[in-house]
Amino acid sequence: MAGSGVFEDIIEGDVFKYYTDGEWKKSASGKSVAIINPTTRTTQYKVQACTQEEVNKVMESAKIAQKQWAKTPLWKRAELLHKAAAILKEHKAPIAECLVKEIAKPAKDAVTEVVRSGDLISYCAEEGVRILGEGKFLVSDSFPGNERTKYCLSSKIPLGVVLAIPPFNYPVNLAVSKIGPALIAGNSLVLKPPTQGAVACLHMVQCFHLAGFPKGLINCVTGKGSEIGDFLTMHPGVNCISFTGGDTGVAISKKAGMVPLQMELGGKDACIVLEDADLDLVAANIIKGGFSYSGQRCTAVKVVLVMESVADALVEKVNAKVAKLKVGPPEDNCDITPVVSESSANFIEGLAKDAKAKGATFCQEYKREGNLIWPLLLDNVRPDMRIAWEEPFGPIVPVIRINSIEEGIHHCNASNFGLQGCVFTKDINKAILISDAMETGTVQINSAPARGPDHFPFQGLKDSGIGSQGITNSINMMTKIKSTVINLPTPSYTMG
Ligand code: G3P
């Protein structure tokens, strides 16, 4: 159960504590932030409302701890990460329970998220040992005008304090995708969890605590974005920001100082379907890609662009599968569960109403109870409808019928987003040409967009983000190159 057993230190009364200096603490504010269960729409948990003064102290602890951590042998850092991964997996049940209650993630998927996170941490440890254990040796005589008088030794060094801000939809997995690379690379960490998902994050942090990481190295502050959000992202003690979320990322990028940024800010992933596509495969992928976790994934299929000649057949196949989706509470492992908040449900509803007013075909009746929205396929969507461009983050998938491949590519590229996209065809030559033409960070051929496996590069173009993620890229991003140049008095040529 949440907050019990090995997790009993992280809660006092009914409020979960924040974590710094290797200890669980109560905020001096005496205030808390309520976490509303999306299914019951009542307060499920409470977390501390940390103050700016507390953030200052946390930053100081992180700075001190990092200096020591950077002197800790790489193999020891890896060993601790492996230990944390094992503890996390061992306690998957209570953490998954938090995900079910805080973000209405279907029970089975919640467990998968925790296990995937443990694997991700272990992979970071292994990859870090490999790529951080190597540097470069350069000699000067390859550049015109130089003799071989300079030897350059370059290696990767940590950045310092990494501020990690994960989103509500994968609070544990997208936290560890920042924590793992940061720690193996010798950085310390300040984690600001999303409000929905904060308690799952706090449980995850306790697993790192139990693994025995040095005090101050990992810190987790909770609170209101309005109170500590900007204060954190503009804090002079921060040396790197890794953020996953929505528009807030754009605001952060404008306010952050001279620090490296890693951002993933959503997408409007297009699914282009050609005449020769295997329509059963496409339908299965639209269901998986568009409706899993009720469409609340950055990489969800958010618009289907199908050739007119096969559109009727595809819509029929998708509708048959939509009818089989189980709608209800996450505890019952339903496919479609309540969306994260009432405001989110209202936004989704607004998109559906706009499409209705402008003449889209509703393949199912629009139905909503509280935050629960029934899955909906919208056919005959046109570019003048908001749903053609905006990201619903809900169980609604629009279908736009196209008459040429160019039309599909044009719609995909006209979006402000550029996260992923996918193309379905049996013609690999066409698939490659379309992939090259799509302005997105990744194109999946004959499968729905997805971030994993977690060591694959993951990046968005345009408003979808800054930099690239995936384990290897994140480790590299959270380091800097440091060079030492040995200057010789006379040229020296090996075997010369
Ligand atoms: O930010 C990425 C997330 O929303 C999607 O991840 O693993 O479901 O493709 P995934």
Q: Which atom of ligand 1 is nearest to the CA of 266?
A: 1
Can you tell me the mean pLDDT for 303-316? 98
Q: pLDDT tens for residues 178-236? A: 999 999 999 999 999 999 999 999 999 999 999 999 999 999 999 999 999 999 999 99
Which strands make up the sheet holding 150-158, listed edge to edge?
Answer: 136-139, 150-158, 479-487
| Three-class secondary structure assignment of 177-191 | HHHHHHHHCCCEEEE
Known catalytic membership, residue 264:
yes
Pocket lining: 310 vs ligand 1, CB cutoff 6 Å: no
Q: Mean pLDDT over residues 140-150, rounded?
A: 98
Q: What is the pLDDT of residues 68-113, one digit of tens each?
A: 999 999 999 999 999 999 999 999 999 999 999 999 999 999 999 9
In this structure, the number of other CB atoms found within 10 A of the CB of residue 200 comes to 33
226: DSSP letter: I
Asked if pLDDT for residue 1 goes beyond 90, the answer is no
Amino acid at 234: M
- What mean pLDDT do residues 11-19 have? 98
Annotated catalytic residue within 207, 298, 363, 422? 298
The band of 437, judged by pLDDT with boundaries at 50, 70 and 90, is: very high
Task: Judge whether 298 counts as a catalytic residue.
Answer: yes
pLDDT at 168 over 80: yes
How far is ligand 1, taken at its centre, from the CA of residue 81, in Å?
23
10 confidence band (pLDDT: 50, 70, 90): very high
Among the listed residues 259, 105, 86, the one whose alpha carbon sits nearest the alpha carbon of residue 169 = 105
Pocket test for ligand 1, best of 451, 468, 469, 474 (most atoms within 8 A of CB): 451
Report pLDDT for 496.
74
- Summarize the chain as % helix, strand, coil (round to 5): 40, 25, 35
Q: Which of 18, 38, 13 is nearest to 28 (CA)?
A: 18
Residue to substitute in 114, 264, 298 for testing ligand 1 pocket (most ligand atoms within 8 angstroms of CB): 298
CB atoms within 10 A of CB 315: 22
Ligand 1 in contact with 442 (CB < 6 A)? no
First to last CA, the chain: 70
Centre of ligand 1 to C-alpha 189, Å, is 22
C-beta of residue 439 within 8 angstroms of C-beta of residue 418: yes
Cα 155 to chain center, whole Å? 28
So what's the pLDDT on residue 493? 94
Q: Answer yes or no: is the C-beta of 452 below 6 A from any ligand 1 atom.
A: yes
Residue 251 pLDDT greater than 90, yes or no: yes
